[in-house]
Amino acid sequence: MANGIDDKIKLSAEILAKSKNAVVFTGAGISAESGIPTFRGEDGLWKKYDPEEVASIQGFRRNPRAFWEFSMELMKNTSAEPNPAHYAIAELEKMGIVKAVITQNIDMLHQRAGSKKVYELHGSIEKLKCLDCRKEYSWEDFSDLLQNSDIPKCKHCGSYYVKPKVVLFGEPLPSTVLYQAIEESRRADAFLVVGSSLVVYPAAELPYIAKSNGAKMILINAESTVADHIFDVVFYGKAGEILPKIVEEVKRIKSRI
């Protein structure tokens, strides 16, 4: 395993440049660099909030207002934009190296950075849906929500069980998306994990699937994970600083081929 940062960048770039089917897997750490709070860790949101009350399907059914108060606070406190790590991943896709992005994030920053093939394991905040009548809405349908601190009410059936199309604790991952993510992981010959603690299952199983099928493994994370031992290259640091350097090195390698 490479030790120095420059050696790690070169080795990572060589892995990606030689790959035919690179896949990227991202977690909350990449979005944290855009100002979105993480949930776990020393300053994670679950230190301040009870996830059972504000982020579980059972809690939402009991008290949708608690969920919305928590969600509105998050949305008011961030004006997140894609950061250099998001743009670097999108650039690798444009170069034909990255074939898919699998993300645990719901913020759509990958798409805004230019990534086209994104599998959202936990859904996204793009749309809302009524749990009772299944009618879908755009945020514009409740444009006054942030201003009046009210909670959305379904305009079709009158239910207060309207929520973003995100996966809460106690809900299954979308089966089709999970199946596609597993298949992408099986096909990967290079698997790059960015900003994930790799403790939330079944998503955390994907790197092991890639590894067991022969993929070269790269990890970029702020701190160590329980799965560090399965990676060929491990970086501890900011993805927004490391990934652009890897992309530049990939370009240099490609220019020589």
* Structure-block tokens of residue 163: 């929520």
Please provide the distance, in angstroms rounded to a whole number, between the alpha carbons at the two ends of the chain. Answer: 25
- Residues near 179 by beta carbon (within 8 Å), at least 6 away in sequence: none
What is the spatial distance between Cα 75 and Cα 160, in angstroms, rounded to a whole number? Answer: 20
Bridge partners (DSSP) listed for residue 235: 220
* Structure-block tokens of residue 143: 């444009």
Give catalytic status of residue 122 as yes or no. yes
Q: Closest Cα to residue 250, out of 85, 90, 87, 95?
A: 95
What is the spatial distance between Cα 202 and Cα 16, in angstroms, rounded to a whole number? Answer: 25
Active-site option among 86, 122, 156, 229: 122
What is the spatial distance between Cα 94 and Cα 191, in angstroms, rounded to a whole number? Answer: 17
Which residues are catalytic, by number? 122
